[in-house]
Structure formats: structure tokens, C-alpha cells
Structure 1
Amino acid sequence: MNRLWPLTARGTGALVLAIACFIVANEVGIHELLYFGMLLLAVLGASIASLYLTRRADTVARSFMPDVASVGRDARVTVRVGVRTAFPTPPGVWQDTLPKGVAGDAQGVFPALGSGLRGSDRIVELSYAVTGTRRGVHPIGPLSVRSTDPFGLARRRNVFGEKTHITVAPAVVDLPALRNFAGEAGGMLHTTTTQLGQGADNLIARPYVPGDSMRRIHWRATAHRDELMVRQEEQESTPEATVVLDRGVLRWAGEAMQAPGADPGFEIAVSAAASVIARLAHDGYAVEVIDSDGTQLAERIDGGDMIEVELVINGFAKLVARRDDHLQQLPRVFSGVMTGPVVVITGRFDTADAAALAPIVHHSTLPVLLTVSPSAGSLERAADLGWRVGRIGEESEIAPAWVNAVDRAAANVLQ
């Protein structure tokens, strides 16, 4: 039945019967049928009127748990509807409009309401689960409620409220921890010891400042200077790592520039980048996230700061490819720098790219290259030049590629 037609199948049958009564009454002359037809029309009119005199929604507010959804994971949507009705209303059927980026069963029974002439708005709370299917920011809504009168003769579809945007972050794959590398211990920073003198008596001392440990007081220097002095034999440092997400459009399909989620290959790369960032930060590394031209994609993440990791991954919800291509100029970013793990994530990759990236190997303790679309022989060439390589053509390949690269590097460390 057309949704613009206000009558249900039962109501349409009643209308047809009323018209038939008028026709038969006119042809046969049975006046009782005329009265019966008029009664049916009156009932239909009253049914339609009852729907338009009741139920009006003034406010519709949606909340999400968690606040940001993730691809492949469930989130709960709660809809709070403020309704004011002059007369009691029967129950109806509600449905929330879902975009292509999320999936779920967003419908249910809208409860019956009593008269609210003397009271404030009634708050009706609806809830349903959704699953993120495409990274990006997607509009949910509006909410519609389909009601029928108590006799089931007429119906009305009310549309309530505005759209509410839900953010869907990339999927994060659980990667195993780094082993036999500094900083792997569950988000704990490691301590390096620098000997600034020879022997305990020759360590350089400095004046005590609030916050220094009392165990580091250098008593001999304190007696000599007549003020509290502390040893400076230890300095805490955070191991550093760099994640490079190559967004050059030449590495991806053209759709990667248009909107998040448009290019499956780029989505795998973004998911891999998010997963590696989470792993390295959890292992205690201070993580820099950059593009292939050295541009920062996020603020530096301190080791173990998983809240900042979550914020960065949520920010990746809007990430798209860019027009230029700077992958072969990436070694300039690491010129004159020695750092920890460097993880490069890219799309199309050939032997010329492998040769161009070779200098980075000498500036990293763990050079890892993950690519979505490598050409024949390109990964072998990169491995010969010192990269720990992996192909991530599918999301299910991210974890195996990471394990293979890390295990190979760990084996080299143990030799």
C-alpha cells in the first residue's frame, strides 16, 4: 500500500464498502444502506482525525556508546524522544534511518502514551545496536513512527527530529607485542644508564630540585658543597618509533581521495596504521605518525598513552588520500637521524620504490614495510635491502605480516 495513502487495508475495505452501500442504496432504494455507508465514512474520518490530534515529538536526541564506533565492532545507539500528546495514543512502530556506513536493526515498538495535557513532555527512550561497516562520519536519522488508530482503519507516519552524525573509526587489529626490543614491556618506559664519570665517586652531581628521588642524593658532593646534590648517572628516555602512512593517490585508487571508505585498499592501510600505532604505543614507544612527505598526521604519542592513541585513531575516521606522491623522497625525512622502529605502510609498490627507500634501513633499529599492492619481485628486493616486509592485501593479513616481520627481526637480534 502506498505510504501516502492514509488508510490501511482494513480501512480501504471499509471505504469500498461505504461506496458500495451508496451505490446499492441508490439503485435498490434501501435507505438503511445509505445510513450504514455514512456511518462507515464517519468512522473513517474519526480514525484519521485521531491520528493527527495525537502525538507530537518536540525533541529527539541520540547518544552513542562508545562515542566513536569502529569498523566491524558493535556500538549502541540510544534515542531519547520527547513527546507531547493531547489524547491517549496506541502503540506504534518506530524506525531510525541508517546510512550505508553502519548496519543494524533500528526498529521496534513505540509505546502507547496517556494524555499529557497537564504534564510536561513524556520521554521515550529507544535503543538498538549498530555495527560500523565503513569508515567515516555518517548521518543517522530522522526517526519515523508509524501509528494506526485503535480500529486499525487509518495510519500515519510521523518523522521526528534531525540527523545525528556518528563517527566510525578504522578497524584495529590486535598485533602481538615486540620482543627483544627496548620498550616492549607493556607500555612501560625503559631506562638507559649513561656513565658520566668513572666509578661511583666520580659521577657528575647536580643541585637537588623538588621531585628528585632521595635515593639519588650524592652525600659526598652534598658535604663538599654544603647543599643537597644528586647523582646524574641515570636519565630516563622513551624509545621512539615512526609510523608512515603513504597517502599519495598514485599508490591507491582514485576513489581514495573522494571519501573515507571508498577504496578498499586504502582502508586496509589505514587499519594497519591504526593497529601498528596502538601496538607500538602500548609497548612503550613514543610514536610519530607522518605522511610520506614528513607531514605529521597526528601529534606525537607518548609511550603508554592509550587515551591519545584512541584520539588519533578516531581522527583517522576522516582520513583520505592526497593528490601528490612523495614516497621516494621519504629518506630525506630520516637524514641524519637514528631512531627505533620505522613502519612504512603504502599501496602500490615496485622495485624502484624499494631502491629509493633503502637508505632508511640504516637509520632504524626495526625497518618494517607493509604494502597492499606490491609488484612482482618488489618485496624480495626490499627484503634484500634490509626491510622486514609483508603484504597486507586483506585485513586478515595484517597480523600475520606483522608477526613475520617482527619474528625475523627478533631472530636477527638473537644471533
Structure 2
Amino acid sequence: MAASGPAAADGAGTGGDGRGGESRGGGVRAALDGLTTRGRSFLAAGVAAVICAYVLGQGDLLRVGLLLAVLPLVCVVVLYRTRYRVVAGRRLGPQRVPAGAEARVHLRMDNVSRLPTGLLMLQDHVPYVLGPRPRFVLDRVEAGGRREVSYRVRSDLRGRYPLGPLQLRLNDPFGMCELTRSFSAYDTLTVVPRTEPLPPVRLAGDAPGYGDGRQRALAVAGDDDVIPREYRYGDDLRRVHWRSTARYGELMVRREEQPHRARCTVLLDTRAVAYQGGGPDSAFEWAVAGAASVLVHMLERGFEVRLLTDTGGALLGEGSDGFVGATQDSADAAGLLMDTLAVVDHSDGLGLSRAYDVLRLGSEGLLVAFVGDLDEEEAAVAARMRQRSGAAVAFVLDSGAWLSGGAVPGPAEDSVRRLREAGWTALAVAPGASLAELWRYAGHTRMESGAPGGGTTGSSGGWS
């Protein structure tokens, strides 16, 4: 859970001590502006009664008018002069949720003054996509007391949504005046793409991650071939290399064999011209969710992964090549990638040439692409991307079919055919298709044919 720091607010019109950055009141004028409809009505009726009493010479009516006019003003003064302080906090659990899932927001209100509060109303600001604005009424909070309330938020759309600031409304017992104080603290809810668990299929070639087909970066063939390094706290003393220790004058240990981790690049086509329509059920959102599912699946299988877009930039990465997972925990790397995909949007690009320039300079590995509508030129560029990958899988979405809810028409099939001829394992994605089923089918297709789409077998890149 994520918790915001405490924020303080003062019940008086001059504001509080500033902890948490609460808003300041505007003095007596702000208090008079806080008169409710009831308070303004009482004040207007009182003034009218006083005028009528003066014109008609009615003493009793004058007393009634004064009572009606003075009552809301007394409530303003009492509410303005009441000195009590409250501290608010917010806990968000969880801070990162998939699209369509609910998160619960816990609000805590502490009265740190010596006086009990009057009627309080809490209101938290939330974006409209998360649901209605929550409001809570607290009748009375004793001195040193605490109240906790909670509400749920939910969004079908990806994004980062601010929660807060929290507003506190103070009311007098008669409902004549209402003052509003705002806390400055807020939290951020990250709605990430929905991920789908993928089956453990495998293509012909090397085993993934640290499997049997892994390559060794260093080989220990004998005592003379050892590449030593400096001793680090926690190293096994049995690995001390005494010959190097005597040579360098400091404790040296044998370097362990370093496995070469398999790599996977996920290409996400974000071109605005490649997709039609919008919303949680659009083709673009399916592509984003598919990319998220593949990234998480590959991290769990021990791959280093990279998220690449049509703009040619890796959206997140530890090094210049943009791959993650080498030095991070897979869960942490997946969380960072999900945060990145939560805010990915359409690009203004018209082609895939920038992504091709990045891929042709990189090392061989698995390439998984999620692409939208492709014309002949862009289909040819995508076909050439296969040359530098060990295995290549493409999911082609026809946004027109997704927009109409019909079957995948000819243009998408033409792109699939071109990619298969270039050595891709290419699949057309129908509206509402399951990525897990397509993933399994792609693996079986390559295992049976020996190459995607019946083409020639490429370099031995395995995937799982």
C-alpha cells in the first residue's frame, strides 16, 4: 500500500500551521462567503423584517428581524473563531492495479486539538473515470479522536490518476455557515494494462533464459585460464585464487561462469494512423495488453526484455540498448514496464523505419511484434526486421475489423502473408481474440513446420 504523509488543517479561518501544505483561509470575508442558502435566507429575512418594523413601527417585528439577522452572523463568528486542528492521511491499496480492477482508498482523520469538532464533511477529489466523487459526513470527532473511512475506485482505461487533494467542510450546528479547507497531499493510482497468462510453448532452437542451451561467457578450462577478480564480502573462501593473490598483492577469487541470458524485444506499433477507434475494447488497447503479457511472461522465463515502439526508442531500460531484467528482480522489472505501458499513447509517426534502424543494429534474439494496419511499404519494412532476430512472431490487428466487430478482412491477411514469406510466425488477430490461444498456436505452428509460415528456418533462437 501507498500512504500519503499527514496533512494538517485548522478549523479557523486563518488556516493552520502549514503542515501538509493546507490551504489558507481568507479571513472574515471568506467566512461570510461560506454562508449556506439557509444562512443567506435567514439574513435576508431578518434585514427585511427590520426594515418593515422600522417603517410600520412594530417593536415585536423588530426583535424577530434582529434575531433572524444576527443568528447566521453569530454562526459565522463561532465557526470562524473555533480553534481545532485535524490531520488527514490517505492509504491506497494497491497503488498499481490492472484495468478493470478495483482499488480501495482509506482516509484517516485525526483531531489533534483539545476541542471536539462539529459536523465535518470529507470530500476527496478523484477523476471522473474512477467513479463518483466520494463524500463522507462525520457528526463529531472527540478531542484526540480518530475516524477512518474508505471508498473504492475503478477504471477500465489505462493511465495515472491523481487522488486528492482531500477537502474538509466545517458546518455549524444550525447549518448556517460552511467553510472549506483543502489539504495539499495527494496520491497517484496507476492503472496498468490487463495481462493474460501465457502457456509455456517453445520453438525449435536454444532453450530460453538459463536453460540447457545457454552460452557461457567465460570458460574455466584450467588453472591458467581462470580470470580472477577482487575478493568481495561474502565470497566463498574456497574460490580464492592464490597465484593471482600473490601476483597482485590482494585477495583474489575465481570468477564464476556467467550465463548469457536470452533476450526478447517486444515491438509495439503505436502509430495513430494504424488504429481506428478507441476505448478499452479497441485494437490498440488489445495490442498494449498483449505487449504487457508477453513482457511479463518473458521476464518470468528468465529473459532480458526490451519494449520498443515505432518511434525507435526503448521506453524503459537499464542500459543504452534498453533491455531490463539483467540486474533487477523480475517482479520489479515487470512493475516498471507496466508503469510505462500504463501511459503509452499513440505516436504521430507514419512508418516503422525507426524501429527497423534500432533492430538491425542489435543482437539476435526473439522478436515479438504487435502491429496495426500496414500498407505495402510498411509491411516490407516489417518483413526486413526478421533478418536480425532468432525467432520472430507478429500479431497483426486490422483496426477496421475491430471497429466493426467483424472478421479480419483481406488487408490484414495480405500483411500476414508478406510477413510469413519473410520468415515470421505471423497471425491475424480477430476482434476479441485470446492472446493465450494465439500464443499456443504460434508455438505449435513453428514446431510442426520448422519455420514460421512454412518459410526457411532462421537462426536458432528459442522462446518460451
Q: 1:282 aligns with which of 296, 300, 303?
A: 300
Kept after mapping to 2: 8 A contact 1:368/1:387: yes
Alignment map for 1:41-80 (pairs within 5 Å) = 41-54=69-82, 62-80=90-108
Q: Deviations over 1:49-74 (max 9, x none)?
A: 22222366676554433334443232
Is 1:405 paired with 2:434? no
Kept after mapping to 2: 8 A contact 1:371/1:393: no
- Alpha-carbon offset, residue 158 of structure 1: 0.6
CA distance in 1, matches of 2:156, 2:215: 50
- What RMSD over aligned residues (CA atoms) do the two structures have, in Å? 4.6
CA distance in 2, matches of 1:263, 1:55: 52
CA distance in 1, matches of 2:83, 2:446: 66
Identity of aligned residues (%): 23
CA distance in 2, matches of 1:272, 1:396: 11
Kept after mapping to 2: 8 A contact 1:22/1:37: yes
Cross-structure match for 1:359: 384
CA distance in 1, matches of 2:442, 2:84: 60
Kept after mapping to 2: 8 A contact 1:366/1:409: no
Kept after mapping to 1: 8 A contact 2:170/2:178: yes
TM-score, structure 1 normalization? 0.71
Is 1:91 paired with 2:116? no
Cross-structure match for 2:367: 342
CA distance in 1, matches of 2:105, 2:274: 36
CA distance in 2, matches of 1:392, 1:57: 59
Letter in 2 for 1:246: D
From the superposition, tell whether residues 212 and 386 of structure 1 become closer, same or farther in structure 2 (CA, over 3 Å). Answer: farther
Kept after mapping to 2: 8 A contact 1:105/1:128: no
Kept after mapping to 2: 8 A contact 1:105/1:129: no
CA distance in 1, matches of 2:444, 2:283: 25
Q: Deviations over 1:216-262 (max 9, x none)?
A: xxxxxxxxxxxxxx9x9x87332221111234454357x99xxxx99
CA distance in 2, matches of 1:329, 1:400: 31
Alignment map for 1:172-187 (pairs within 5 Å) = 172-181=194-203
**May I ask how many residue pairs the two structures share in their alignment?**
379
CA distance in 1, matches of 2:337, 2:441: 26
TM-score, structure 2 normalization? 0.65
Alignment map for 1:14-413 (pairs within 5 Å) = 14-15=42-43, 18=46, 21-22=49-50, 25=53, 30-54=58-82, 62-80=90-108, 87-103=115-131, 106-110=134-138, 112-114=140-142, 126-151=149-174, 153-162=175-184, 164=186, 166-181=188-203, 189-192=210-213, 204-205=221-222, 206-207=225-226, 236-251=259-274, 266-292=284-310, 294-299=312-317, 300-302=323-325, 305-328=330-353, 330-335=355-360, 339-361=364-386, 363-373=388-398, 375-376=411-412, 377-391=414-428, 397-412=434-449
From the superposition, tell whether residues 73 and 390 of structure 1 become closer, same or farther in structure 2 (CA, over 3 Å). Answer: farther
From the superposition, tell whether residues 133 and 410 of structure 1 become closer, same or farther in structure 2 (CA, over 3 Å). Answer: same
From the superposition, tell whether residues 127 and 144 of structure 1 become closer, same or farther in structure 2 (CA, over 3 Å). Answer: same
Q: Deviations over 1:94-144 (max 9, x none)?
A: 11111245335522123523468xxxxx77655332224443343333322
CA distance in 2, matches of 1:193, 1:372: 34
Cross-structure match for 1:6: 35
- Alpha-carbon offset, residue 391 of structure 1: 4.9
CA distance in 1, matches of 2:419, 2:340: 31
Specify which structure has the higher proportion of strand: 1
Q: Secondary structure in 2 aligned to 1:349? A: coil
- Alpha-carbon offset, residue 277 of structure 1: 0.7
From the superposition, tell whether residues 371 and 178 of structure 1 become closer, same or farther in structure 2 (CA, over 3 Å). Answer: same
Kept after mapping to 2: 8 A contact 1:372/1:392: yes
CA distance in 1, matches of 2:139, 2:207: 55
Letter in 1 for 2:372: G
- Alpha-carbon offset, residue 318 of structure 1: 3.9
Kept after mapping to 1: 8 A contact 2:111/2:142: no
Q: Secondary structure in 2 aligned to 1:189? A: coil
Cross-structure match for 1:225: none
Kept after mapping to 1: 8 A contact 2:312/2:356: no
Q: Which ranges of structure 2 fall in alignment gaps of 5 or more residues? A: 1-31, 239-253, 318-322, 400-410, 455-464
Q: Secondary structure in 2 aligned to 1:339? A: coil
Kept after mapping to 2: 8 A contact 1:93/1:109: yes
